[in-house]
Amino acid sequence: MFNTPYGLKFNIAQVAEEITRFMKAESGYRYKVVIGTDSQGFEPSSFSVDFVTAIVIQRVGNGGRYFWRRAELGKFHTLRDRIIREVMLSLEVAQEILGLLKDLKMSDFDFEIHADIGEKGETKKMLQEVVGMIRANNFEARTKPESYAASNVADRHI
């Protein structure tokens, strides 16, 4: 189930319906749907890692909405494994939400996957690999500092 900032819970089909409703309410704007995942719990003693995936619908230049869900997964032994799992969770949600939006006849929006990695820090050596994974799935990739869905929205709920 996905949560809203207001405490409501929606399944993925209901999220797609809410996105559709949001876009139809003001049809004169350009829209962007963004998926991003962040995680926490990478200390060697952690028994599990919390992953939060966010779905953001942005009315470009005029606000937006978001939905998020948490998944607690097993222990990850390397930072690389954890980052790859973040990207895989985002890709899984992206495939599902896009299929539902297509079924609802929604197609006029931009779509991006945001990865919580950048050119600074430990994740810089993974940049090409992660961006390649996202692009191999035919999605536009954004990394820090442009990856607000992962770095800000999902991070807020970790």
Check pLDDT > 70 for residue 140: yes
- Condensed to tens digits (0 to 9), the pLDDT of residues 13-37 reads 999 999 999 999 999 999 999 999 9
Neighbours of 109 (CB within 10 A): 17
pTM here? 0.93
**Which domain does 64 fall in, by range?**
2-156
- Torsions phi, psi for 89 (to 5 deg): -60, -45
**Domains: count for the chain:** 1
User: 43: helix, coil or strand?
Assistant: coil
Closest CA to 154 of 20, 56, 57: 56
Q: Name the nearest CA neighbour of 154 among 106, 102, 87.
A: 87
CA–CA distances in Å: residue 43 to residues 35, 76, 83, 92, 153: 26, 9, 14, 26, 22
Residues composing the chain:
158
